[in-house]
Amino acid sequence: MTTPSASTSLPPSGTVLLGVPVVPGVQYGPVIRPGRLPVLDDEGSSETAEADRPAEAARFKAAASAVATRLRDRAAHATGAASEVLAATATLAQDRAWLGAAEKRINEGAPAVRAVVGAVEQFADMFTKLGGLMAERVTDLRDIRDRVIAELNGLPEPGVPLPAVPSILCAEDLAPADTAGLDPTLVVALATTLGGPTSHTAIIARQLGIPCVVAVNGLDAVDPGTMVLVDGTRGTIHVSPDSSAAGEAVAAAHRDAELAAQWSGPGATADGHPVAVLANVQDGAAARAARQTPAEGVGLFRTELCFLNRDAEPTVDEQAGIYAEVLDAFDGHKVVVRTLDAGSDKPLKFAGHPDEANPALGVRGIRIAGRNPGILQRQLEAIAAAGQRSGNPPWVMAPMIATAEEAKEFAAQVRSHGLTPGVMIEVPAAALLADRILEHVDFLSIGTNDLAQYTMAADRMSADLATLTDPWQPAVLMLVAMAVRAGAAAGKPVGVCGEAAADPLLACVLTGLGVTSLSAAVAAVQGVGAKLAQVTLQQCRDAADAVLTTATAADARAAALAVLG
């Protein structure tokens, strides 16, 4: 196995690049890469000669129409909120008002690129002044501007391109907003140069159910169009492999997945010890997809992901509608709604984040409510309204709780809305004092992604530190064990909703530690449930005991494998 040097020359055929495996599965296909944002400044360009202006206007209209058609195609391939966003953007791309303003500028002599920049800024100013919903369209309008300019300049579409054949998306890193409309039948795997096992690229890949490898050394040098084999189980990227061997590897992975697909729930070990297997979702569409699996409920509804593109806070009524969609999808089943975990790598424009040198350690999650209590109050009002509307009152939990005092205040607010309060255990301080926190709340949910980040003092987005943020780190599992023990002593449920619960082997170890539920991305539900059904509670307990005596993540994995197979 060869590992490329730091040079940026193209890796030779057969090279195997190494990364951190985060979503299992194997896929083979051509590389696609997100296009870069176009340069907007063409002030140096000269006026178009009068005779050439009709042709320049036609060139502009063809570019705008190509962009709108592509967005409409993507909307047709996407589902739920993503499809609606893309369809609305396609409509805006054909809006006569800004198209007319750009054409007018072209007819007055501006080259098409300058006309597009000018017309879009004219409307962006107008939308901003109008405020509210109109102001929220400014981002979409600028996105259209970038796409039309790229088309005019013959450059690849900015953002994630729409491939003609199933492809492997390779990038430095991917923001949640970049990937909103990804179609898992066309983007069949993800690989990134940056990111850790709990980065949002990994979370999105799990939600889409596609293999993913992050922190891949040398990936930047692999050009678009190169055929690669992504192995999300081993964490490897084979560059230009033998095509028949690659085809066989993909087929073998599919056979394994088919075995997992036969599991039909409910979550239990082979000897019948129940552990609820739940789903992590981010909107109604994901919840409806989760309902098609044996998932017994929703263990984590990441509400902040509904609002990443919003400039203004959605009204209580609009929020209630969005939350009710998830509750309706799991009518009569447990749904745990998490209040906004805004900040750090998921900033929300309307949350009023301060400028901070170190946002992961700053005003994030429940801490937002300290500066802006109204945001939490209105969200709880909306969650309670959604519960009433759907007849399925949810459990509600706060992210980033660090002290028992914070848990007490949050619980009082949640109870005043007639809802069941809980908190996430993501900060080591909260794991250490879980018994005191449980005096105030009815349940705990362990967020192993942030718990690993804060226990190991290692940024979950850092590729260099990916082995430290591995949820198999024994120090992280010791803290999980503490919180679970506190739950058992208080007779209150303790689940895991971080990515650790999506790793079938680690899910068995967590069961052995005593967790009462495992909440994983929809695509991981079958694999987790199927693995759990193959082992006994005693095996899970033996594996947990063995893991807690190890000193490294690799030894912890090996110890669990030795017991659980």
* Residue 443 C-beta: closest distance to Mg ion, Å: 16
Residues 425 and 438: beta-carbon distance below 8 Å: no
**Residue 381 host element (H or E):** helix 373-390
Choose between 206 and 238: whose C-beta lies nearer to ligand PEP. Answer: 206
Which CB, 231 or 499, lies closer to Mg ion?
499
CB under 8 Å to 303, separation ≥6 — which residues? 323, 337, 338, 339, 340, 341, 379
**Residue 363 per-residue DSSP state:** S
* 512 lies in the site for Mg ion, by CB under 5 A: no
146 touches which of Mg ion, ligand PEP, none (CB within 5 to 8 A by kind)? none
Query: Which 249-308 positions form the footprint of ligand PEP (CB under 6 A)?
Result: 300, 302
Q: Give the C-alpha separation, 222 to 228, whole Å.
A: 9
- Spatial separation of the C-alpha atoms in residues 27 and 19, rounded to whole Å: 15
For position 447 contacting Mg ion by CB under 5 A, the verdict is yes
Position 447 contacts ligand PEP (CB under 6 A):
yes
Contact positions with Mg ion (CB under 5 A) in 278-337? none
Sheet containing strand 187-192, edge to edge, reads 16-18, 236-239, 227-231, 26-32, 167-171, 187-192, 212-214, 20-23
Tell me which residue of 224, 205, 206 sits closest to 161, measured CA to CA: 224
What's the closest the beta carbon of residue 345 comes to ligand PEP, in angstroms? 8
- For residues 248, 250, 251 and 255, what is the CA-based torsion angle, rounded to 10 degrees? 140
Question: Is position 473 an interface residue for ligand PEP (rule: CB under 6 A)?
Answer: no
Token couple for 7:
């040079």
Q: Which stretch binds ligand PEP (CB under 6 A): 234-242, 283-291, 404-412, 444-452?
A: 444-452
Stretch that binds ligand PEP, among 80-88, 382-390, 448-456, 472-480 (CB under 6 A): 448-456
Site membership for ligand PEP, residue 449 (CB under 6 A): yes
Direct distance between the N- and C-terminal alpha carbons of the chain, in angstroms, rounded to an integer: 26
Report the distance separating Cα 213 and Cα 170, nearest Å: 10
Q: How far is the CB of 350 from ligand PEP (least distance, A)?
A: 18
**Segment near ligand PEP (CB under 6 A), from 204-212, 225-233, 441-449, 502-510?**
441-449
As measured in angstroms, the least distance from the Cβ of 478 to Mg ion is: 19
How far CA 15 is from CA of 1, 37, 188, 240, 300, in Å, comes to 7, 30, 21, 8, 39
Task: Indicate whether 196 belongs to the interface with ligand PEP (CB under 6 A).
Answer: no
Site for ligand PEP in 480-509 (CB under 6 A): 497-498
In angstroms, give the least distance from the CB of 450 to Mg ion: 4
Q: Which is nearer to Mg ion, 316 or 342 (CB)?
A: 342
Pick 314 or 498: Cβ nearer ligand PEP: 498
**Nearest distance from C-beta of residue 499 to ligand PEP, angstroms:** 7
Asked if 450 interacts with Mg ion (CB under 5 A), we say: yes
Q: What are residue 189's DSSP bridge partners?
A: 168
Distance CA 214, CA 204 (A): 12
- DSSP 8-state assignment for residue 108: T
Tell me if 471 contacts Mg ion by CB under 5 A.
no
Q: Which does 448 bind (CB under 5 to 8 A by kind): ligand PEP, Mg ion, none?
A: ligand PEP
Least distance from ligand PEP to the Cβ atom of residue 501, Å? 9
Other beta carbons within 10 Å of 489: 11
Determine, following the binding rule CB under 5 A, whether residue 196 of this chain makes contact with Mg ion: no
Spatial distance between the Cα atoms of 295 and 313, rounded to a whole number of angstroms: 31
Catalytic pick from 306, 497, 508, 540? 497
Burial 358-396 (b: 16+ CB within 10 A, else e): ebeeebbbbbbbeebeebbebbbebbbbbbeebebbbbb
**Shortest spacing between CB 345 and Mg ion, in angstroms:** 10
Is 254 an active-site residue? no
The answer to whether 497 is a known catalytic residue is: yes
Which residue in the set 146, 426, 442, 459 belongs to the binding site for ligand PEP (CB under 6 A)? 426
Nearer to ligand PEP, 28 or 410 (CB): 410
CB-nearer residue toward ligand PEP: 390 or 448:
448
The CA-CA-CA angle for residues 173, 287, 278, to 5°, reads: 90
> Which one from 200, 238, 353, 440 is the annotated catalytic residue?
200
Please select the residue that binds ligand PEP; options are 448, 469, 473, 517, rule is CB under 6 A. Answer: 448
Minimum distance of ligand PEP from residue 326's CB (angstroms): 15
Q: Does 423 bind ligand PEP (CB under 6 A)?
A: no
Among candidate residues 117, 62, 71, the one with its CA nearest the CA of residue 93: 71
Q: How many of the chain's residues bind ligand PEP (CB under 6 A)? A: 10
Please, which residue, 116 or 497, has the CB nearer to ligand PEP? 497
Q: Distance between CA 471 and CA 509 in Å, rounded?
A: 12
Residues found near Mg ion in the complex (CB under 5 A): 426, 447, 450
Residues found near ligand PEP in the complex (CB under 6 A): 300, 302, 341, 426, 447-450, 497-498
Q: Catalytic positions, please?
A: 200, 497
